Amino acid sequence: MSQGADTKPNKTSSNRFVIGAMIISLSIILDQISKLLVELYLPFGEVIPVIPSFAMYRTWNEGVAFSFLSGHESSALVALAIVVVGVVIWLWKSSPKERVWLSAGYAMIIGGAIGNIIDRGLYGHVVDFVMVYYQGWSFAIFNIADCFITLGVVLIIWDEFWSAYKARTTPQNDTNS
């Protein structure tokens, strides 16, 4: 008797978590190395132009996104971030296994969040240093972890739209897709 699909491990499921762990690890490593270099070599509060409308500017974020909740105890913000990571992990584990972009998006969010949690645990604040500006206007200063979180959200939204499109355009009686 040949082995059926139900008797062997689900390769898609285990692969997505292995790839996810790699994405999480890569995002944490890139984030922490960049922040270490910024803390060692970039003067605090000084704009260092890189190209037009893009500069390095070392600052500390004592709140969460866009300095929201600034002034709250760092340990409370770490606890809140850990709860958020737990929710994202739960969403990831309960998501459809074949949706690769969705899994990648969740992994990026988790990695970015953990990168910022590490900062809060080590320093009591998050190290931010990327500045995007135009003339007198500047977007919020951010870091590599924030980039991973944002890209993760974009991938999840894209995957949701793509999934809805596929569901709408796939014939209902087609069971092979």
d(CA 172, CA 116): 44
Catalytic residues: 128, 146
| Closest C-alpha to 41, from 121, 129, 122 | 129
HEC sequence for 96-123: CCCCHHHHHHHHHHHHHHHHHHHHHHHH
Place of tokens 């997505």: 16
| Closest C-alpha to 102, from 115, 93, 114 | 93
